[in-house]
Amino acid sequence: MFYDIVQVIPNEDYTVYVYFEDGKIVCYDAKTLLKKKVFEPLKDIKFFMNACTILNGTLAWDVTGTRDCSKCLDIDPEMLYGLENVSEKIA
């Protein structure tokens, strides 16, 4: 079963807390993406933090700032849901 992502919170250590509609929370470590050319824009921490959003029903980075789903960097939502459940990060 697939659950919608309802919130994403990026962190300056290149992790993102991903919140699903069923209450599951995962912490996605995006550092491995930085090695891939297609994800090169994410190396800029300001871009990583500010462009992080939900597009195509999953964690994504809005490359153009136009919310064009065909021009975003997104992560497979099933893979994200398969990550270990974590406790909510307390600020």
Which residue has tokens 């300001």? Answer: 46
pTM comes to: 0.90
Rama region for 60: left / alpha / beta (φ>0; ψ in -120 to 50; rest): beta
- Provide the pLDDT confidence category of residue 56 given band limits of 50, 70 and 90: confident
How many CB atoms are located within 10 Å of the residue 53 CB?
A: 14
Looking at domain 5-81, its CATH class is alpha beta
pLDDT at 58 over 70: yes
Lowest mean pLDDT among 6-20, 49-63, 77-91: 77-91
